[in-house]
């Protein structure tokens, strides 16, 4: 459930990008898997080829060595060799020479019959010579003979390593079954350069290498110059189980991987090894892999670029339209948006312009009707004057006249004249703060004369205001003072206090407040009054007193302006209004 919620919160561009990625990523992983499968297939083919080459060359070497072993067995029972080793002292010298020559010819045939024989020899102690294929040399020493006998007894392989030479020996009698001195020794010396050439035929490149070695005799023939690799390859083969005739694996040397294939010869007791670096096996595939990643990067860049291009085609016109809607929301109904391309957005822009035009016309009609209704309501609210205040004041003046209190009659009539002059002036619905303040002071003076000093009036200084500054609705401050006298202080026989205060706030606004020390305001009544003031209902029937003033302030400065009520510092009610410093004109204007 979190993913759909996240999708709903995304903007268009991430959604487009995510959509393309969802479509491409599976193809990307399929291609990657195909590449890996191709690499595995090539790797298996290469390893199979290595094993095939190893098996073929090991088979040819075994066949050749087996043929040479059969020749040795034939020469062991040869008549000339037998006579020279048994009865040569009693034979005529000429016959002995002929036999020696025939033996040398046979040795020459053996030598020439194989590429891997450097020299063929026959040591016959009875004639005191070692016959070669084309020559002869002195007889072997007894120590050398004993060494060769010991090698034949101890080594499993028919090929022995002696004095840096690889020899195929046939000793009669066989030292494994008899301790007698040999009658003769047939010996074929392996041609090591030819064997190395044989190893070089196995490899297919400069980076490949091959080994032929006998771990028991600790000799090795190699093709290739990477001796550390050869040493590790020998160690790898040595660690394999002896019953394993062939195998393959991978070794790592200096952070480079090598593939190794080997085969063991039970006949020769030798191991033939072929190794090659992994990059030679997978080198071409690495190029394909590199190009695959390049293609993947290009594809990703194309996806991002294509998504951004579509994003521009969709988002920029939408953003332009959203900005236009915000301007309309802020009251700008004079704008017109234009789309240069002939697509769906041109139609949307055209319909938007038509809508704004109709909305502007409708708002103009509603606005004019509302202004007229508000002005009518203001006139009605201003006309609501308390009749009790009028006749009670007239009775007060009448009593003063009967008492011949000329000074107070003069003051009272002066204040009454100013009072009625202000409330009956219909030339304007608004007044300056100073005019409203002076009217309220006149009302306070009249009330002071009526209360016979049972109520004390405390008035602060009015902060300096500009003559052309903020204008407020008429008759909004005096009703607050009137409310304090009629409701807050009506039960006060003496000691009543009414305070009229004006102060400038930090933001330049002017705070006007009226406080009293009445005893009848409970917390429930205060909460109820606050609720009635904060109520947004339009069907309120009471249009006098605090609600009257609150409604007029809201009509003048907006719904966020009006009266606020709280507990006075004197214990009664505190009513406060704030005249904004930057709202000199009607909010509708």
The DSSP annotation for 7-25 comes to: HHHS-HHHHHHHHHHHHHH
Reply yes or no on whether the pLDDT at 586 is more than 50: no
Helices (H), 239-343: 278-329
Predicted pLDDT at 566: 92
User: What is the tens place of the pLDDT at every residue in 446-472?
Assistant: 888 887 778 888 999 988 877 667 788
Question: What's the mean per-residue pLDDT of the chain?
Answer: 80
Predicted pLDDT at 574: 93
The answer to whether 487 and 468 are in contact (CB under 8 A) is: no
**Helix, strand, coil abundance in the chain, percent, nearest 5:** 55, 20, 25
Helices (H), 113-178: 142-154
Least-confidence region, from 178-192, 220-234, 375-389, 547-561:
375-389
At residue 517, what are phi and psi to the nearest 5 degrees? Answer: -115, 35
Length of the chain in terms of residues written: 589
Reply yes or no on whether the pLDDT at 404 is more than 60: yes
User: What is the tens place of the pLDDT at every residue in 531-566?
Assistant: 888 875 544 444 446 887 888 788 777 777 889 999
Structure-model confidence comparison of residues 412 and 390, the more confident one: 412
Q: What fold does the segment set 384-579 form as a domain?
A: Heat Shock Protein 90 (3.30.565)
Mean pLDDT throughout 175-198?
A: 86
User: What is the tens place of the pLDDT at every residue in 302-355?
Assistant: 877 877 777 777 777 888 888 888 888 887 777 788 877 777 878 888 888 888
Angle at 225 between CA 221 and CA 227, to 5 degrees: 75
Predicted pLDDT at 501: 94
Write down the pTM of the prediction.
0.49
Structure-model confidence comparison of residues 389 and 244, the more confident one: 244
The position carrying tokens 């009607």 is: 586
The answer to whether 539 and 529 are in contact (CB under 8 A) is: no
Q: Partners of 209 in the beta sheet?
A: 275
Q: List the one residue out of 132, 126, 74, 128 whose CA is nearest residue 103.
A: 132
Predicted pLDDT at 330: 81
User: What is the tens place of the pLDDT at every residue in 263-317?
Assistant: 988 888 888 988 888 777 666 666 777 777 787 788 778 877 877 777 777 777 8
SS3 at position 215? coil
SS3 at position 157? coil
SS3 at position 46? helix
Domain boundaries, the chain: 32-299, 333-374, 384-579
Q: What percent of the chain has pLDDT over 70?
A: 88
pLDDT band per the 50, 70, 90 thresholds, residue 514: very high
Structure-model confidence comparison of residues 565 and 21, the more confident one: 565
């Amino acid at each position: 459930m979190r993913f759909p919620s996240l999708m709903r919160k995304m903007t268009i561009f991430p959604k487009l990008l995510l959509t393309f990625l969802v479509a491409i990523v599976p193809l990307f992983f399929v291609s990657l898997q195909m590449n890996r499968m191709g690499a595995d297939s090539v790797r298996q083919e290469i390893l199979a080829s290595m094993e095939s080459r190893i098996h073929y060359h090991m088979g040819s070497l075994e066949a050749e060595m087996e043929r040479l072993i059969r020749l040795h067995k034939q020469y062991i029972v040869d008549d000339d060799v037998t006579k020279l080793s048994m009865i040569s002292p009693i034979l005529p010298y000429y016959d002995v020479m002929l036999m020696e020559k025939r033996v040398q010819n046979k040795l020459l045939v053996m030598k020439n019959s194989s590429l891997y024989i450097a020299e063929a020899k026959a040591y016959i102690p009875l004639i005191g010579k070692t016959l070669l294929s084309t020559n002869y040399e002195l007889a072997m020493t007894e120590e050398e003979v004993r060494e060769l006998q010991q090698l034949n007894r101890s080594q499993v392989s028919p090929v022995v390593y002696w004095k840096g030479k690889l020899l195929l020996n046939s000793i009669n009698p066989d030292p494994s079954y008899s301790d007698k001195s040999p009658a003769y020794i047939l010996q074929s010396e392996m041609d090591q350069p030819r064997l190395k050439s044989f190893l070089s035929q196995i490899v297919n490149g400069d980076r490949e290498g091959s080994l032929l070695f006998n771990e028991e005799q600790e000799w090795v023939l190699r093709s290739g110059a990477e001796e550390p690799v050869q040493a590790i390859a020998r160690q790898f083969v040595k660690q394999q189980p002896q019953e394993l005739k062939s195998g393959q694996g991978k070794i790592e040397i200096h952070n480079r991987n090598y593939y190794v294939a080997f085969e063991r010869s039970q006949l020769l007791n030798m191991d033939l090894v072929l190794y090659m670096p992994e990059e030679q096996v997978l080198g071409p595939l690495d190029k394909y892999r590199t190009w695959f990643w390049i293609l993947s990067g290009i594809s990703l860049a194309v996806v991002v670029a294509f998504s951004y291009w579509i994003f521009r085609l969709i988002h920029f016109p939408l953003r332009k339209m959203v900005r236009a809607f915000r301007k309309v929301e802020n009251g700008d109904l004079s704008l017109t948006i234009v789309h240069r391309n002939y697509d769906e957005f041109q139609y949307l822009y055209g319909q938007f312009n038509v809508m704004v035009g109709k909305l502007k016309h409708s708002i103009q009609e509603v606005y004019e009707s509302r202004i007229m209704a508000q002005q009518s309501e203001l006139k009605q609210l201003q006309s609501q004057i308390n009749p009790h205040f009028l006749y009670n004041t007239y009775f007060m003046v009448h009593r003063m006249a009967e008492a011949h209190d000329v000074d107070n009659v003069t003051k009272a009539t002066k204040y009454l004249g100013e009072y009625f002059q202000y409330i009956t002036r219909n030339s304007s619905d608004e007044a300056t703060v100073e005019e409203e303040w002076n009217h309220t002071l006149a009302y306070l003076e009249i009330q002071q004369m009526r209360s016979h000093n049972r109520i004390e009036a405390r008035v602060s200084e009015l902060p300096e205001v500009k003559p052309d500054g903020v204008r407020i609705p008429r008759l909004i401050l005096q009703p607050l003072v009137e409310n304090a006298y009629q409701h807050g202080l009506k039960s006060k026989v003496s000691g009543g206090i009414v305070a009229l205060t004006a102060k400038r706030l930090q933001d330049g606004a002017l705070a006007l407040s009226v406080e009293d020390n009445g005893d009848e305001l409970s917390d429930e009544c205060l909460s109820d009054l606050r609720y009635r003031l904060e109520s947004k209902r339009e069907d309120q029937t009471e249009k006098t007193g605090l609600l009257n003033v609150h409604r007029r302030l809201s009509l003048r400065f907006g719904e966020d302006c009006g009266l606020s009520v709280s507990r006075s510092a004197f214990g009664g009610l505190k009513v406060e209004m704030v005249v904004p410093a930057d709202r000199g004109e009607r909010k509708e204007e």
